[in-house]
């Protein structure tokens, strides 16, 4: 059987650096929270489970199975995210938790313990979405957003309708019940806090969609999720959107330039060399109109040993001249592709 599933994946940032006792305490704590909230789905008294948990040591994945005709478990998945981040914030010291949401078709299997389990690429994708999140942030894949929030924001530029979860209250512990001798102001503050806790919480994707770097050099389209009233989630763009992977390319220059012409993201590390810069300056290479990032990392002149500054190779061209050529090439890219993100000149390495 291959049911569709809504997936939640979370982990504790910096888990491996914690003492064993602290690790065990955190795992037991969030396990109790999830088991209590999802008990009816994880271990129903009648029928098959509609949720399966996959512990990972520093976190867990939870798959909500839609093999009973349901259209999805968005509210359950998002409510779990609310409770997990609230738990993380209330730990002492606070825990940096990352959460990823995804939807896909999974395969049911019987694991080595004879229990029903799930496997499939959607679980890997959900983990990669989570890996791309900042601490205290919830990221959702394109598939999750399209399934539960509609396609109105598929372009990444338009707002989508929120999904209302009901009363889950704001982040933080419940307000303390006032003492008998409480002042009028203290009583008013308590009533206001209690009223706030009974307000429904809504969740919605926050445009624009971000292309982030996940494990195995995979680029994913993800959405940052926000709440109203504010639950304290990190709604800044994920830091992973500015990460790139730089590798050594030993292909012939003609093959390399062919890739440069069509690439949407380019990062070059240049100690010396100017053939690519000359190709850009002469117009031999025209960069893609879809270019979103063009980085050239070169050493500042003061960071290069003197003997290299005087004569870098058999051509006798100095580092100063290389830098000048590349600055000119980058300036041309800025003019030709002004919408490209992070067009950069030289940086000290």
**Could you give the residue ranges of the DSSP H alpha helices within 198-252?**
none
Note the pLDDT of residue 81.
Answer: 95
Q: How confident is the model at residue 316 (pLDDT cuts 50, 70, 90)?
A: low
Note the pLDDT of residue 349.
Answer: 37
| Interval 287-309 mean pLDDT | 74
pLDDT at 314 exceeding the cut of 70: no
Q: Which of 84-88, 228-232, 294-298 has the lowest mean pLDDT?
A: 294-298
- For the chain, percent of residues with pLDDT exceeding 90: 37
Note the pLDDT of residue 190.
Answer: 66
Q: Which of 5-14, 79-88, 166-175, 218-227 has the lowest mean pLDDT?
A: 166-175
Q: Are 233 and 137 in contact (CB under 8 A)?
A: yes
The average confidence (pLDDT) of the chain is 82
Q: Is cis: bond before 94, omega within 30 of 0?
A: no
User: Domain extents for the chain?
Assistant: 4-238, 253-336
Residue with the bigger pLDDT between 168 and 58: it is 58
Note the pLDDT of residue 346.
Answer: 45
| Interval 264-288 mean pLDDT | 85
- Of 63, 68, 71, 10, which Cα lies nearest the Cα of 38? 63
H/E element, 204 = strand 200-214
Q: Are 140 and 129 in contact (CB under 8 A)?
A: yes
Query: What is the rounded distance in angstroms from the CA atom of residue 117 to the CA atom of residue 55?
Result: 11
Note the pLDDT of residue 39.
Answer: 92
| Interval 207-218 mean pLDDT | 80
pLDDT at 152 exceeding the cut of 60: no
Q: Which of 29-43, 85-99, 146-160, 268-282 has the lowest mean pLDDT?
A: 146-160
Residue with the bigger pLDDT between 228 and 269: it is 228
Choose from 58-67, 158-167, 242-251, 271-280 the range with maximum mean pLDDT: 58-67
What are residue 193's phi and psi, to 5 degrees?
Answer: -65, -40
Q: How do strand 218-228 and strand 137-141 relate by DSSP bridges?
A: antiparallel
Query: What is the rounded distance in angstroms from the CA atom of residue 11 to the CA atom of residue 98?
Result: 6
Query: What is the rounded distance in angstroms from the CA atom of residue 204 to the CA atom of residue 192?
Result: 25
4-238, CATH topology level: Alpha-Beta Plaits (3.30.70)
pLDDT at 233 exceeding the cut of 70: yes
- Helix, coil or strand: residue 53: strand
Q: Which of 39-43, 93-97, 166-170 has the lowest mean pLDDT?
A: 166-170
């Amino acid at each position: 059987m291959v049911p569709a599933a809504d997936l939640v994946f979370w982990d504790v940032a910096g888990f491996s650096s914690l003492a064993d006792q602290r690790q065990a305490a955190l795992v037991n704590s969030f396990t109790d929270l999830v088991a209590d909230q999802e008990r009816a789905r994880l271990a129903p008294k009648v029928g098959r489970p509609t949720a399966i948990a996959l512990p990972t040591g520093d976190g867990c994945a939870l798959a909500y199975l839609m093999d009973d005709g349901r259209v999805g478990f968005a509210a359950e998945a998002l409510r779990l995210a609310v409770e997990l981040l609230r738990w993380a914030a209330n730990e002492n010291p606070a825990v940096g938790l990352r959460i990823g949401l995804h939807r896909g078709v999974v395969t049911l299997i019987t694991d080595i313990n004879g229990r029903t389990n799930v496997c499939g690429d959607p679980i890997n994708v959900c983990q990669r979405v989570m890996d791309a999140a900042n601490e205290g942030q919830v990221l959702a894949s394109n598939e999750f957003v399209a399934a539960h929030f509609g396609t109105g924001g598929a372009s990444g530029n338009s707002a989508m309708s929120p999904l209302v979860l009901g009363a889950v209250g704001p982040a933080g512990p419940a307000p303390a019940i006032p003492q008998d001798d409480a002042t009028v102001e203290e009583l008013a503050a308590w009533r206001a806090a209690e009223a706030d806790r009974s307000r429904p919480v809504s969740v919605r994707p926050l445009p624009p969609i971000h292309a982030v770097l996940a494990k195995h050099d995979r680029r994913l389209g993800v959405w940052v999720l926000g709440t109203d009233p504010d639950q304290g989630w990190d709604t800044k763009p994920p830091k992973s959107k500015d990460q790139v992977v730089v590798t050594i390319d030993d292909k012939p220059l003609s093959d390399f330039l062919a890739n440069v012409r069509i690439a949407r993201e380019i990062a070059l590390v240049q100690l010396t060399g100017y053939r690519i810069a000359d190709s850009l300056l002469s117009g031999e290479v025209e960069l893609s109109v879809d270019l979103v990032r063009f980085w050239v990392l070169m050493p500042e002149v003061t960071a290069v040993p003197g003997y290299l500054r005087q004569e870098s190779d058999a051509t006798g061209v100095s580092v100063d001249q290389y830098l000048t050529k590349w600055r000119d090439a980058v300036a041309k890219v800025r003019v030709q592709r002004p919408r490209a993100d992070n067009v950069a000149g030289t940086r000290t390495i």
